[in-house]
Amino acid sequence: MNSLRMQLLWAHLIVIVVTMVVFMATVYLVTPRIRDRLVRQEQTAQPNPAPRPGNNRPTPPPRLLPQRVYDAAVMQSTLIASGVASVVALLVSLVSARVIVRPLHSVITASRRVAAGDFRQIDVPNGAHEIRELALQFNHMAAALKDAEQRRAALIGDVAHELRTPLASIQGYAEGLIDGVVLPHDKTYTIIRTEAARLSRLVDDLQSLSRAESGSLVMHMAPHDLNAIVDRVVDLLQSQFKEKQITVTVTHQHDNEPVHCDNDRISQVVVNLLVNATRAVSTNGNIQVTTMHQQHMVCCMVSDDGIGIDAAHLPHLFERFYRVDPSRTRATGGAGVGLTIARAIVESHSGTLTVQSDGLGRGARVTLALPRA
């Protein structure tokens, strides 16, 4: 009886049995009375003829009742029994349905609360297994919506902060130039240009995120060598590696790793993985980049010996605007959308992007896997 299917089955069986019993009992009780009434009516309508004078013969036995009397008795008793059984079946169905759906009322009430912005969870009701599972999944959904709402509010604050800082700097220097407080100088113009570029990067990130989540990123697919893509990105980021005195080791297990991909988009993903690794390691740290193929997939693994990631953060790393360390600014930790965009790009190539870490202080491993061409 813990299954909703079994509860519905038993409810239908109970209704059927009760209906049959009531129908048969009604027919059994009503039919004789209807028959007797019809017999009396028949006898009244057709009286026996009076005996002739001097006729001493005994009165003949009564004739058999006409067939129409029996037919009428059966029809009337059947109609009455059907009506009574239908009413009883309706009452039993209403009671059983109310018992079965009663646990759903709390879920319905809670769904209205969630629609109004109240994300409180509900107590899991006793009842069918499916209803308990529904309540559990509803609680998971409410928790996810609450978390998403909190991240949305945090996003608004983060975006406002990120916009306010460069805008305030640009506004301050512009007003200083107008008032003559700040003298026109190459350094001044460089600062304004840097802050404007910072604003442009933020807008680009937000636009890329929007396109990635809506699946509207434009892809130019063609055969490429993943080894060549990795080598080119590593060369591009050499200045950042040298600045932190990071040792980057690139290992290609095979001479050629063919993939069918958008070269620019996959390069963007590899850049994101290496930049994240660079931020995670300390000065004189180590980053290992390895390409390989496993069955029908070509993989690029980026490993570092940096700060590592706590297990509690791993399930959320690909959520938009999620930062392991909320205190990190855009200058040191980005806007928190890089991995979200990277995963969307990889999934549009029918690939996967996964993150592993043995814990804090033990580094991390990010694996990019694409179908082999």
Backbone phi, psi, residue 63, to 5°: -75, 155
If one looks up domain 221-371 in CATH, what number appears? 3.30.565.10
Sequence spans of domains, the chain: 148-214, 221-371
| Residue predicted with more confidence, 271 or 154 | 271
- Which CATH entry fits the domain spanning 148-214: 3.10.129.10, 1.10.287.130, 3.40.1710.10, 3.30.70.270? 1.10.287.130
pLDDT of 266 strictly over 90: yes
pLDDT of 290 strictly over 90: yes
Instruction: Tell me which amino acid residue 256 is.
Output: N
Q: Which residues contact 226 (CB under 8 A, 6 or more apart)?
A: 257, 258, 259, 266, 291, 298, 300, 370
pLDDT at 4: 65
pLDDT in tens, 36-93: 777 777 667 655 555 555 555 555 545 545 666 666 777 777 778 787 778 888 887 7
pLDDT of 127 strictly over 90: no
Count CB neighbours of 189 within 10 A.
12
Q: Which of 5-14, 161-170, 220-229 has the lowest mean pLDDT?
A: 5-14
Where residue 17 falls among pLDDT bands split at 50, 70, 90? confident
State how far the alpha carbon of 114 is from the alpha carbons of 51, 153, 326, in Å. 91, 17, 27
pLDDT at 167: 87
Q: How far apart are CA 302 and CA 273, in angstroms?
A: 7
pLDDT at 166: 82
Q: Is 80 exposed, middle or buried, given 0-12, 13-18 or 19+ CB atoms closer than 10 A?
A: middle
pLDDT in tens, 360-369: 888 999 999 9
For residues 368 and 355, the answer to whether their CB atoms sit within 8 Å is no
Tokens of 199: 């604003």
Beta bridge partners of 366: 302, 355
End-to-end alpha carbon distance in the chain: 53
| Residue predicted with more confidence, 233 or 127 | 233
pLDDT at 90: 82
Q: How far apart are CA 167 and CA 196, in angstroms?
A: 8
pLDDT at 42: 67
SS3 54: coil
The answer to whether domain 148-214 and domain 221-371 are alike in fold is: no
| Residue predicted with more confidence, 276 or 73 | 276
pLDDT of 264 strictly over 70: yes
C-alpha torsion angle, residues 176, 179, 185, 191 (rounded to 10): 20
Q: How far apart are CA 169 and CA 157, in angstroms?
A: 18
Instruction: Tell me which amino acid residue 116 is.
Output: A
Let me know how long the chain is. 373
| Residue predicted with more confidence, 126 or 191 | 191
DSSP state at residue 314: G
Average pLDDT, the chain: 81
- Of the candidates 7, 67, 5, 79, the one whose C-alpha atom is nearest the C-alpha of residue 42 is 67
pLDDT at 228: 95
Q: Helix, strand, coil: what percent of the chain each, to 5?
A: 60, 15, 30
H or E element in which residue 365 lies: strand 364-371
pLDDT in tens, 163-184: 787 888 888 888 888 888 888 8
pLDDT in tens, 308-343: 998 888 888 887 767 676 555 554 455 567 888 899
| Dihedral sign from CA coordinates of 94, 96, 97, 98 | positive
Tell me the average pLDDT across 118-131: 73
State how far the alpha carbon of 352 is from the alpha carbons of 113, 216, 291, 346, in Å. 37, 19, 15, 6
pLDDT of 225 strictly over 90: yes
Q: How far apart are CA 10 and CA 4, in angstroms?
A: 10
Q: What is the pTM of this model?
A: 0.57
- Of the candidates 174, 152, 172, 154, the one whose C-alpha atom is nearest the C-alpha of residue 164 is 172
Q: Scanning the structure block, which residue is given the tokens 């509207």?
A: 216
Q: How far apart are CA 238 and CA 263, in angstroms?
A: 20
pLDDT of 125 strictly over 80: no
Where residue 20 falls among pLDDT bands split at 50, 70, 90? confident
pLDDT of 142 strictly over 90: no
pLDDT of 243 strictly over 80: yes
Angle, helices 186-214 vs 338-348, to 10°: value is 40
